[in-house]
Amino acid sequence: MRVIRTASEMREVRRGISGSVALVATLGGIHAGHTAHMDTVRPLCDVVVGSLFLNPTQFGPGEDLSTYPADEAADLAEFEGHRVDIVFAPSVDEMYPPAKMEVPQVDPGPVASVLEGVYRPGHFNGVA
């Protein structure tokens, strides 16, 4: 399993893949839902890519990012145990470079104010 830390390397590697690719996107804290997804897509595509990025923009006021149950070593072991080929695990600075760019915001519209959006205002702006 290859672990990639930069967006530029991920783009370069992706360009070199000629077959089908499945993405299993996570914040870390790998659980049975993630591993079921990994196991489901494995026979359906040539390459399975996992993402491991604890995105701070998905956490709103009063939500404690620092207590999110992510353990990179354990998460990477889960990816490897479920035959994921590549894990994209960038740092926050890689995804949101200081002083290089403004953090993009996407308004997901009215769907963001129902279900989980009712309890986590702004959450889906970070997801989008």
Instruction: Report, as residue numbers or ranges, the catalytic residues.
Output: 34
Q: Angle CA(109)–CA(110)–CA(116) in degrees, nearest 5?
A: 105
What residue type is assigned to position 107 of the chain? D
- DSSP codes, 56-71: GGG--TT--GGG----
Are the CB atoms for 70 and 91 separated by under 8 Å?
Answer: no
